[in-house]
Structure 1
């Protein structure tokens, strides 16, 4: 292979790797922002918009680089590797310590995007002596787009579950440095300051390797500032980030930074979720739980001798495995997930319902709050219609429904959506609420084909919190939580997501 051919091959390979690394950095910034700030639509839109705009600006600015193109390309590649590798820990630190996250996100995203935007025009100009313009553009953009596809597949399926956010950034920063070193070697005859670039490459490589080695303790230290309590378990799964904390004997479980339960008062939530529905149908035999991978709703259901089968659907196997195998969590849920009555399916709730043929006496929807489109879709008319198709004639549906105080419009939107999601039958809803210290005022909704009357609901279990008087009071809403005129939640609008975000934003203003 001639020198010219080596340069052509190396630069096209560099284009492929640049595309992979560039999209990985973009996805890292968007994912970390979603984890830390919530509102994933806004965060990803902001990051993608900034990246694309900055890349266009960088491509425009590349015209001002007139001399020493190979040397400038290598230098730029090394600096992109440094910034790309460090962007996640810098943003994490900004959120946890200095409280200046969004301005720094904007600055770093624009800077990194502009640097990435310069690279492709430089490669095209370096290759112009080897290919015609038509072939040159075709080769470069083919490698670029294929690289982006590979990155998009690797990120959710391999990188985040296996490496996590920070380690992924450092690894791809090092890959960027590797491309820079390869280009430095292949283009060495056209580079005047080889020693300076070798020294820069060595320095940045040392920085990124150090960061990679220290990424786990750094993450733990930053998360301690966010969660306050001792972190005893954390993991990035294919779907989400799980964190379990402990203070004395008190456990708290978080998904993507949002509290799912506190062992101090979880019984208030799960007793309120489960027992009113069973009071409406005390002889229920077949129960479906959508979500609830912690096994705490199952724990309450196992109080009923009449129940013969409990089917639990939770998307993430890491969640159910954690609550089946962790000694402290097994003690909390009374090892409920190992009970012979329980069958677990780790799949998407929507897909399960599309293929399942069974009817259930009680369907319990214990899903995280609708704080993203992927979760909001599980609170839509389309989803509830699918749920209703699996309910026996006298059956009861119950769902957690966010807070009727903090997210008032979101709560009543869920009530309206559950009632109006089937035009072929009349459905009746019965909303109720209770106070949970960890969450504040919290709401639930029952639905059935027949009218549910609070006066007919008689509890049949001995509970730690929920008794007959408490249950009766839960159906009474004070004036500041009364029903509002809201829209139902549909796949085409995700109105619920807007209500939810607006409610919490208003509360924290």
Structure 2
């Protein structure tokens, strides 16, 4: 067998395309090498879609990406080994492309449907991933055999591999920069399914005298199925979202950072990021008042305030009650801040806080913003996502808090949301201990029906007395008595020993996951 080691089963001479005419040989070689690039791009895109869907539905992006990559590469290895048992290389390659077009194209759609219907993710996702990996692993050995069999004058196996690796580069750049910002995961899978089917169609035409009607019929039916699914992918995705979230979807957008979904039902609005609820207008005031006002009341000065996270503007709304001179909102995703600044019905939820001339929006990573230095702030409000993975855990490390202290004035105060002391108490107290390296801290909690009992940690310079100035008028939840009670923890939620969260160790995500798993999995 040309192009790979070992022997191959006997293939009848009638199945070999070696007798292709000299005039077509160059064109066939160019087509097949170009095909190598295309299928390499498609294969890696399927892998990235699977990893993104997995992290979206199952959480912990680091773990899910690691699992998906390992399973996919292992399946590719099995597919490469199994390719030696394919009798006709051309027919095997075309059938592999048809299979990839169908399985890879429909994988995201089927996984989302399975999750919406029966909350099953692993079986459809990893089943499709293994199948796609097996078929993708066959592609390069089969292409190498075809190139060798047609007598390609410039054929070398390393040329095929070079084009394959170039395709991996193209896919890795295109996925975050072009595909995710412009296509839903369902649509992206179907688009690349059609691309695999286009490769199958071109190869069918090139070697049309070697392949029977059954392959043509299979290809035509697959094109029709995937094409129809792509045409209807918008309504289908909308129906799946409605089933997943239960309420009317008023906004759904996939950005390069996350999936944004806003729902509404009977005047109640909720924001979901990657499937996790961020606020519910029925009770968000309890969370945001508890997050913002104890820190603002504790600060000797409140002229310059920074809010990290909280792109929905709710925390900024509460900060503006204290009449600061300037508020800087640092949030990673410009799509979120734009949505809650520019869309009137959503901006009204934060009292149009993001349109206030005192508010400056900075779309940046909070860690990078703190590290870059600059003007000092009197109060820092950290309304950051839960530390469910290593990337988010960075924003709860001793190193991050050290950088943050450098962005605060000498009497600057900081507060962070710290998760649930009921559902993940070990994680909550890791955050408190970590902030205590360099600060005096006051842990406290509030009951928010959408989340359950929720925890916060207030930090101030060492030795500074904890004081509470009078709260602004019009608060619906927080007052002096509520604040006093908020600092009391019972035996189930009280202080626990444990490590400090550092960039080199990251015990926080493990504690967070273990706590929530114990309650809900």
- The SS at the match of 1:104 is helix
2:142 is equivalent to residue 119 of structure 1: no
What's the CA shift for 1:353? 2.1
2:440 is equivalent to residue 428 of structure 1: yes
The equivalent of 1:415 in structure 2 is 432
Instruction: Supply the distance in 1 between the matched residues of 2:373 and 2:301 (Cα, whole angstroms).
Output: 23
2:331 is equivalent to residue 317 of structure 1: no
Instruction: Supply the distance in 2 between the matched residues of 1:459 and 1:253 (Cα, whole angstroms).
Output: 31
What's the CA shift for 1:377? 1.2
Change in Cα spacing, 1:199 to 1:132, as seen in structure 2 (3 Å) is closer
The equivalent of 2:469 in structure 1 is 458
The equivalent of 2:169 in structure 1 is 149
2:512 is equivalent to residue 491 of structure 1: no
Change in Cα spacing, 1:441 to 1:65, as seen in structure 2 (3 Å) is same
Equivalent in 320, 332, 335 of residue 352 of structure 2 = 335
**Greater displacement, 290-299 / 217-226:** 217-226
2:426 is equivalent to residue 379 of structure 1: no
Instruction: Supply the distance in 2 between the matched residues of 1:35 and 1:251 (Cα, whole angstroms).
Output: 21
Structure 1 stretches of 5 or more lacking a match? 421-425
Describe the superposition over 1:2-50 as per-residue Cα deviations: whole angstroms up to 9, x where unpaired. Answer: 3111111111111111110001111111111111111222222222111
The equivalent of 1:37 in structure 2 is 58
CA contact (8 A) 1:429 1:451 kept: no
How many residues in Structure 1 have an aligned counterpart in Structure 2? 499
2:305 is equivalent to residue 287 of structure 1: yes
2:192 is equivalent to residue 192 of structure 1: no
CA contact (8 A) 1:26 1:51 kept: yes
2:374 is equivalent to residue 357 of structure 1: yes
- The SS at the match of 1:212 is helix
Instruction: Supply the distance in 2 between the matched residues of 1:304 and 1:100 (Cα, whole angstroms).
Output: 47
CA contact (8 A) 1:284 1:361 kept: yes
- The SS at the match of 2:77 is helix
What's the CA shift for 1:134? 10
CA contact (8 A) 2:25 2:152 kept: no
The equivalent of 2:235 in structure 1 is 217
What's the CA shift for 1:106? 2.5
Instruction: Supply the distance in 2 between the matched residues of 1:162 and 1:148 (Cα, whole angstroms).
Output: 20
**Greater displacement, 467-476 / 223-232:** 223-232
CA contact (8 A) 1:280 1:452 kept: no
The equivalent of 1:70 in structure 2 is 90
**Greater displacement, 394-403 / 177-186:** 177-186
The equivalent of 1:236 in structure 2 is 254
Instruction: Supply the distance in 2 between the matched residues of 1:406 and 1:449 (Cα, whole angstroms).
Output: 29
Instruction: Supply the distance in 1 between the matched residues of 2:489 and 2:202 (Cα, whole angstroms).
Output: 68
What's the CA shift for 1:452? 5.5
Equivalent in 39, 43, 46 of residue 18 of structure 1 = 39
Q: TM-score when scaled to structure 1?
A: 0.95
Instruction: Supply the distance in 2 between the matched residues of 1:340 and 1:113 (Cα, whole angstroms).
Output: 53
- The SS at the match of 1:56 is helix
Q: TM-score when scaled to structure 2?
A: 0.93
Structure 2 stretches of 5 or more lacking a match? 1-21
CA contact (8 A) 2:147 2:155 kept: no
Instruction: Supply the distance in 2 between the matched residues of 1:141 and 1:309 (Cα, whole angstroms).
Output: 56
Instruction: Supply the distance in 2 between the matched residues of 1:25 and 1:257 (Cα, whole angstroms).
Output: 21
What's the CA shift for 1:393? 0.4
The equivalent of 2:178 in structure 1 is 158
CA contact (8 A) 2:29 2:152 kept: no
What's the CA shift for 1:369? 0.7
- The SS at the match of 2:232 is helix
What's the CA shift for 1:188? 2.6
CA contact (8 A) 1:85 1:172 kept: yes
CA contact (8 A) 1:429 1:452 kept: no
Instruction: Supply the distance in 2 between the matched residues of 1:201 and 1:452 (Cα, whole angstroms).
Output: 73
Instruction: Supply the distance in 1 between the matched residues of 2:175 and 2:398 (Cα, whole angstroms).
Output: 31
Describe the superposition over 1:45-94 as per-residue Cα deviations: whole angstroms up to 9, x where unpaired. Answer: 2221111111111111111113x211221121112111110011111111
